[in-house]
Chain A
Amino acid sequence: MNYSFPILSCVVFAPLAGMIVVLLLDREKHNAIRWVSTFFAFITLILTIIVLKDYNCATAEMQFVEMHRWIPAISAQYFLGVDGISVPMLALTSLLSLIAIVISFNITKRVKEYFAFFLLLECGMLGVFAALDFFLFYVFWEVMLVPMYFLIGVWGGPRREYAAIKFFLYTLFGSIFMLVAILILYFSSEPHTLNMLEMMRLGPTFSHGIQLLTFAFFFIAFAIKVPVWPFHTWLPDAHVEAPTAISIVLAGVLLKMGTYGMLRVSWPMLPEGIRYFAFPIAILGVIAIIYGALVCMAQKDLKKLVAYSSVSHMGYCMLALAAFTSVKALAGCMFQMVSHGLLTGAMFLLVGVLYDRAHTREIAAFGGLSNKMRVYTGLMMLFTMGSLGLPGMSGFISEFLVFIGSFSSYPVMVCIAVLGVVLTAAYFLRMIQHIFLGEFDSAKWGGLTDINIRETLAVAPLGILTLFIGIYPKPLSDLIRATLENIVTLMAR
């Protein structure tokens, strides 16, 4: 489907327009700023839904392509387009961004700057998923870091400044390897190009050494973002210190950029690289699954628990990506990306709701909350069940696909990884037991109020979508199938 209307540019730059409008508003008019931001995030979502509706699932071709001259001197183009792996990510990003903005209404400190930075962040995230030119991709990838640094550093928890700079430096450290890899690919290609589609065609013609080197460099950059064990140490700090809305976006969108980058860049472009490194990557995936789950068992802080559960859940994606010959495994990875985005986004939101009321996140401090916060308890149950892979919800579909897809390649590792599911159930059930069941301390928590309408409305779409995908996964699998089949054939070269 190709429009004459530049709809992808509108999707990517609508939040930027919103940022400019927000900057022009009076800094004291908090409500105006909030509603303008919501409006622009909503427009972005509507535009994304239009893209989703008109997307043609039958082909793996890039759609809604926009290509313009940008910086001919370095052969960088303004090149946007989407296929089956970027469309779901675009939709997830604009949905989670809108939800994050709605949930940020209770921010009262430096409101104008907060929403301006947030909209800039949204622009960067959408740009990463739509860019098909390496230079543009890198610019969007880096543009995100600055607002993220401020959002964690100004509005975060007690150790916010440390967490913000750690996030910034760590991610930048990863990106530099990507930059070197891009430059090496650029000078290896003949004629020199930064066009990703061209590079997919040319990639397999590069020498073995170049493919391995650039693959390793790209892997460092993407692995830090995912984060793959042992590159995950920035994650607990950033997730725990970030304000609720930013944790939602961090877990829901930013982590997926790593796996998206692998599926978009290094896997199809450098088939010799993935063939060479598949086994170690699978091992890293399994380590992440088990290690993340075990660390979760020991957490005392609810938010930290959810943060480490992300390490574990993204491990499934890595295991699936290592089984690169199977369309099923890759589909499992895509499902897991979407599903984890929805579920973990919702869990961070709910953790934030509890923290706003109780001003603590210590699991041991609570007990019997189901007596007081009935709706909240129900919602939390729903999302933890989804997260631990209960059939009927999206988490089950994705884990199932990952396991059956990668079993033929790594039977032993899949068996170990299945243990991770048990561990996941263990730490989530333990958490539920401690917080919601048992004795209720009415002297301490008697003043707690249930989740309010705004928060319920924010979390509802996430619940509906994970149930929908869990019960009827066909629309999503149709969306991604053609593209994934194409990627598998590209990697078989």
Chain B
Amino acid sequence: MIDLRPLIPELFLFCVSLVVLGVDLFSKRRSVSLPAYLSMAGLVVTGFLLYKFQGGRLWEGMFVSDSFAYFFKIIILGAAFCAIGSSFGTVGRMTHHRGEYFSLILFSTVGMMFLVSARELITLYIGLELTTIPLFVLAAYIKSSRASSEAGLKYMIIGAASSAILLYGFSIIYGLTGTTYIPEVTINLSIYWLSFGEIGPAFSVALMMIIAGLTFKLAIVPFHMWAPDVYEGAPTPITAFLSVGSKAAALAAFARIFCGMFVAFADDVMQPRDWGNMVAFLAAVSMILGNVVAIRQTNIKRMLAYSSIAQAGYIMVGVVATSTLGIASISYYAFAYLLANMGAFAVVTVFADRSGSEKIADYAGLARSSPVLAFLLAIFLLSLAGIPPLAGFLAKYYVFAAAIEAGYTWLVILALLTAVISLYYYANVIRLMYMVHEPNPHHIVPGFPAGLVLALTGVGVVLVGILPQSILELALRAASSFAF
């Protein structure tokens, strides 16, 4: 009998999603709140189970529940919780399939949890598919909206293509090493290298394909072009979930593969197949393009889409450091990003629920009519811009520290310069909210679950910025899962 204890949180959440689906089928009222509250409660209990059943491995290490997976699962559960909490208005406007909406989010969450725990390429791939397939449906969920259908279709085509590329890369790795188990791949590649002094062009091709496949999911330039359209068209809570949950999961997979499997090939020791410089270049381009293009946006969801392209670039700055500090820093960054981005999207959702608008210009004077909402959006945006003492500042500081330690000073200077650019468009929203004297026509007081999400993320973004020690310790423990 296999000891399934490390899998309990995933199994439980899977059952919850089935129950939510069933409840929707059999309840006559078709209300929003029952499946939604059920899902939220399920996520909280899953979090508790995660805490109880830390550690352990299954199926000879294909599935590991290490501290790195633990940390990222917290982020993923948090993202799902916030997305569902801010969905009440969006789902309330739908006429049918309300329960399925929530169960699809939960299915995707289960997929992400598998993805971050996978230490074997096939498992990782299946986790990735389970993550993205429900998201295709969710992106297209507003049937009456052409933008939403377009988003779903676009996301599906590009998602499928990128998965294919990724899988091709994996198959080449399998061909080279005869295994898909990550630790064995590392050993076999190293033996190969040490015996022959080179691995051959197939390995370079595989590296590039894997980078391409995963950076599609992370929306990093040049594989970002789907993001703005999908982010704009999808229902806002789904956009938030996409930009935080699936990004965090893909980031974890990226770290597992590159900082775990190919760690030896990041530095000068095993040149010329040096993926570090390649990823550093992609990070640089993402930060520049994401931040510069965001300035011109008039739709706040598109602006946040470009901002999230840039944010992924900042995270990659920590990835290329390939050190304990680097992994700790990207983990912390992902956590700070969860708080700020989920919070910002929650405000956007609440605002759109009331005003029906996603235009940045319509936020003018919000500080006069809804001071709390405006204040929250301001601190979320300032956190994304990296202004102390908010969580986003320490996240940037930590990532840059890791990169400087690893010798990527040029990348840090570039990243900081683009951070100055990013302040311009974040501050532009704040300027509209605070410096336009006429009050906004909409007086908005968020309802219960959305208000809870806003309160949690708002308090979190300040608290994690000022007293970050406990989160940093968790992040450092997460980094200890890697051997550098």
Contacts and interface: CB of A to CB of B under 8 A. Distances in A.
Interface string B326-348: 00100000000000000000000
A284 to B, nearest CB: 23
B409 A180 contact: yes
A74 interface: yes
Given A153-B435, A154-B435, A176-B416, A184 B404 contact: yes
B473 interface: yes
Interface string B312-335: 000000000000000010000000
Contacts of A71: 394, 468-469, 472
A172 interface: yes
B400 interface: yes
A154 B427 CA distance: 13
A180 B427 contact: no
A322 B382 CA distance: 37
Contacts of B434: 150, 153-154
Nearest to A142: B388
Contact of A183 (B404, B468, B476): B404
A85 to B, nearest CB: 24
Contact of A138 (B388, B424, B468): B388
Of listed A70, A160, A173, A179, residue having the most chain B CB within 10 A: A179
B420 interface: yes
Interface in B410-427: 412-413, 416-417, 419-420, 423-424, 427
B214 to A, nearest CB: 28
Contacts of A160: 435
B472 A187 contact: no
Contacts of A184: 404, 409
B431 A176 contact: no
Interface stretch (A161-169, A337-345, A379-387, A468-476): A161-169
Given A71-B468, A176-B417, A180-B412, A168 B423 contact: yes
B405 A187 contact: yes
A139 B388 contact: yes
A399 to B, nearest CB: 36
Contacts of A154: 434-435
B387 A179 contact: no
Interface in A122-173: 135, 138-139, 142-143, 145-146, 149-150, 153-154, 160-161, 164-165, 168-169, 172-173
Contacts of B427: 149, 165, 168
Contacts of B431: 153, 161, 164-165
B13 to A, nearest CB: 30
B389 interface: yes
B84 interface: no
A145 B424 CA distance: 13
A161 B436 CA distance: 10
Contact of B387 (A142, A165, A177): A142
Interface in A45-84: 70-74
A186 interface: yes
Contacts of B72: none
B398 interface: yes
B420 A169 contact: yes
B405 A176 contact: no
A341 B380 CA distance: 35
A180 B401 contact: no
A177 B419 CA distance: 12
A73 B420 contact: no
Contacts, number: 81
A186 B400 CA distance: 12
A187 to B, nearest CB: 5
B254 interface: no
A25 B397 CA distance: 36
B107 interface: no
Q: How many A residues touch the partner, as a band?
A: 20 to 34
Given A153-B435, A184-B404, A73 B476 contact: yes
B416 A180 contact: yes
A74 to B, nearest CB: 7
Contacts of B423: 168-169, 172
B382 A146 contact: yes
Nearest to A155: B435
Interface string A397-415: 0000000000000000000
A200 to B, nearest CB: 21
A173 B469 CA distance: 28
Contact of A145 (B387, B401, B469, B473): B387
A180 B417 CA distance: 11
The interface residues of chain A, by DSSP majority, are classed as: helix
B68 interface: no
Given A74-B472, A165-B424, A142 B412 contact: no
A49 to B, nearest CB: 28
B397 A142 contact: no
B389 A139 contact: yes
Given A142-B387, A183-B400, A183-B401, A172 B472 contact: no
A395 to B, nearest CB: 36
Nearest to B476: A73
Contacts of A180: 400, 404, 409, 412-413, 416
A165 to B, nearest CB: 6
A172 B420 contact: yes
A437 to B, nearest CB: 40
Nearest to A70: B469
Contacts of A176: 413, 416-417, 419-420
Contact of A143 (B389, B394, B412): B389
Nearest to A170: B420
Nearest to A138: B388
Interface string A169-204: 100110011011001101100000000000000000
Contacts of A161: 431, 435
Interface in B359-417: 382, 387-389, 393-394, 397-398, 400-401, 404-405, 409, 412-413, 416-417
Contacts of A172: 419-420, 423
Contact of A74 (B397, B412, B413, B424): B397
A143 B473 contact: no
A224 to B, nearest CB: 12
Interface in A184-230: 184, 186-187
Nearest to A153: B435
Of listed A142, A149, A186, residue having the most chain B CB within 10 A: A149
Nearest to B406: A187
Contacts of A150: 434
B412 A183 contact: yes
B468 A179 contact: no
A215 to B, nearest CB: 15
Interface string B433-448: 0110000000000000
Of listed A73, A161, A164, A165, residue having the most chain B CB within 10 A: A73
A169 B424 contact: yes
A73 B480 CA distance: 14
Nearest to B378: A146
Nearest to B405: A187
A160 B437 CA distance: 13
Contacts of A139: 388-389, 393
Contacts of B468: 71, 73
B351 to A, nearest CB: 21
B26 to A, nearest CB: 49
A149 B434 CA distance: 11
Contacts of A72: 469
A187 B473 contact: no
Interface string A329-362: 0000000000000000000000000000000000
Interface in A266-313: none
Q: Which 3 pairs of residues, A with B, have the shortest CB-CB distance?
A: A176-B416, A73-B472, A139-B388
13 contacts: A71-B469, A71-B472, A73-B469, A73-B472, A138-B388, A153-B434, A160-B435, A161-B435, A168-B423, A168-B427, A172-B423, A173-B417, A184-B409
Interface of B: 328, 382, 387-389, 393-394, 397-398, 400-401, 404-405, 409, 412-413, 416-417, 419-420, 423-424, 427, 431, 434-435, 468-469, 472-473, 476
